[in-house]
């Protein structure tokens, strides 16, 4: 479980997040939604302890940050294989290529990662994060740049990963949120306007004009 009480985050005296109260349920999938600039990515980083809040109380069962999918992950000017294992700090002989195969990256293994398409890069980033097999997943817009088939594959994989795993992700797509989310958080201007378990969330959301 992760709990926030009156959490604020500011940069240069400008509030990015304002007085957030939130409990992330354990072993559930929480979706953080909102327009660009609403504070979704910043909240995700605080939940994963990548950055510290400026004020407020923060509690997490996680002792340290876990590997996270960022919106703009780092790629080295080297092969796909190199990017997969070096940034994961895995020795080459210890690499598990299961996620490589899952995301159909086998035929790209010796290709320069910088030459990949946007969708191929995103699948490499996802494979990298999923390979840690951790109890928590933090994903910032995991479906960006993916074609429909790859997006459906991702949804199927996340459904499989939901068992006994806490997943927190940001999304723009409400239909995907309905399919994959257990708990939904909606943000605007650094504040949480609505939060609830999925069915109740959408009942309330459609009753309001956000």
Q: How many domains does the chain have?
A: 1
For residues 120 and 105, what is the distance between their CA atoms, to the nearest angstrom?
A: 8
Q: Quick one: pLDDT at residue 94? A: 53
pLDDT in tens, 19-55: 999 999 999 999 999 999 999 999 999 999 999 999 9
In a domain, 165, yes or no: yes
- Nearest partner of 25 among 55, 61, 78, 56, judged by Cα: 61
Share of residues in the chain with pLDDT > 70 (%): 94
Distance of CA 22 to the CA centre of its chain: 17
Q: How many CB atoms lie within 10 A of CB 7?
A: 22
Strand partners, 192: 187
Q: For 166-187, what is each residue's pLDDT tens digit?
A: 999 999 999 999 999 999 999 9
The verdict on residue 199 lying in a domain is no
With pLDDT > 90 as the criterion, what percentage of the chain qualifies? 68
Does 131 score more than 90 pLDDT? Answer: no
Residue 177 counted as domain residue:
no
pLDDT of residue 99: 84
* Residue 128: domain span: 2-169
CA distance 193 to 182: 18
Tokens for 162?
A: 């939901």
Virtual torsion, Cα 37, 41, 42, 46, nearest 10 deg? 160
DSSP 131: T
Q: What is the CATH number of the domain that holds 165?
A: 3.40.50.300
Name the region of 39 (left: φ>0; alpha: ψ -120 to 50; beta: rest): left
For range 195-203, the mean pLDDT:
96
Contact 123, 104 (CB under 8 A): yes
At 51-75, the pLDDT tens digits run 999 999 999 998 788 889 998 888 8
**76 part of a folded domain:** yes
pLDDT tier for residue 210 given thresholds of 50, 70 and 90:
low
For the chain, what is the mean pLDDT?
90
pTM of the entire structure? Answer: 0.91
Say how far apart CA 135 and CA 1 lie, in whole Å: 12
User: Residues with Cβ < 8 Å from 89, sequence gap 6 or more?
Assistant: none
The whole-angstrom separation of Cα 141 and Cα 192 is 18
- 181 located within any domain: no
Whether pLDDT at 133 is above 70: yes
Q: What is the pLDDT averaged over residues 105-114?
A: 91
């Amino acid at each position: 479980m992760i709990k926030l009480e009156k959490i604020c985050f500011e940069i240069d005296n400008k509030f990015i997040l304002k007085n957030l109260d939130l409990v992330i349920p354990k072993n559930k999938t929480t979706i953080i939604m909102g327009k660009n600039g609403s504070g979704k990515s910043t909240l995700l980083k605080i939940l994963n302890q990548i950055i510290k809040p400026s004020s407020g109380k923060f509690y997490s069962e996680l002792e340290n940050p876990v590997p996270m999918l960022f919106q703009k992950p780092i790629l080295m000017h080297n092969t796909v294989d190199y990017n997969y294992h070096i940034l994961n700090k895995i020795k080459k002989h210890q690499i598990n290529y299961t996620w490589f195969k899952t995301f159909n990256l086998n035929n790209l293994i010796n290709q320069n990662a910088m030459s990949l398409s946007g969708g191929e890069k995103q699948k490499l980033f996802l494979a990298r994060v999923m390979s840690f097999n951790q109890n928590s997943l933090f994903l910032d817009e995991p479906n960006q740049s993916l074609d429909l088939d790859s997006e459906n594959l991702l949804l199927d994989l996340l459904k499989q990963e939901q068992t006994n795993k806490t997943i927190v992700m940001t999304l723009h797509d409400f239909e995907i949120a309905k399919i994959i989310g257990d708990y939904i958080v909606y943000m605007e201007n650094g504040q949480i306007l609505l939060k609830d378990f999925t069915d109740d969330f959408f009942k309330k959301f459609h009753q309001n004009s956000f």
